[in-house]
Amino acid sequence: MAEAERIIGTPDIPETEGTEETGSGDREAGRAGETTLERGKRKIMVLFGVAVFAYLLDLISKMIVVAKLEHQEPIELIGDWLQLNAIRNPGAAFGFGEAFTIIFTFIAATVIVVIARLARKLYSLPWAIALGLLLGGALGNLTDRIFRSPGVFEGAVVDFIAPAHFAVFNLADSAIVCGGILIVILSFKGLDPDGTVHKD
């Protein structure tokens, strides 16, 4: 029996085991890749979900303001400290730069394109919320620029939130400012849109 084993030899078991280990490693890498892809898709859904919510809230509020408040006396919410006062603003956010309406329109459009491109590398939930606020606000004011008088790309934005001793603004402006503040905070914390954390 011993002589027969010597002549025939033994099976090459290690090669089989190595193949199984390699296959297992490939499967684990594949699962990790799928998990990362799914995580990125969820963050993109959050971004566009926040953007749609901010956009619709701004759009509906402006429709109500135009229908009920325009050409009416301001409504006092907190005495003279906070009022609802419908105005048409041809400038940028908070009434600045009235002579550059077309320029601000193209800036808003550029911001939207940049955010859409950045979304492909987005894996951070806070960044998704921040960019969603920026996108929704930019879309809200861009809609006014395109569809409101006096003409396409020159339309005046509807503003109606009027604090005392401050410029009149709208919900799109608020979304843009909140998104910008959140981005500044995330940048100071070293959190990148792809979810990595760096420290200078």
Residue 11 preceded by cis peptide, ω within 30:
no
Closest C-alpha among 89, 113, 86 to residue 101: 89
29 has pLDDT over 60: no
190-199 long-range CB contacts below 8 Å, 24 or more apart?
A: 191/124, 191/126, 191/127, 192/124, 192/127, 193/118, 193/121, 193/122, 193/123, 193/124, 193/127, 193/131, 194/121, 194/122, 194/123, 194/124, 195/123, 195/124
126 has pLDDT over 50: yes
| Alpha-carbon span 151 to 140, nearest angstrom | 16
pLDDT at 193: 87
102 has pLDDT over 60: yes
Question: pLDDT grade, residue 163 (50/70/90)?
Answer: very high
- Predicted TM-score of the model (pTM): 0.76
List, by residue number, the catalytic residues: 159, 173
Mean pLDDT of 14-37: 51
6 has pLDDT over 50: no
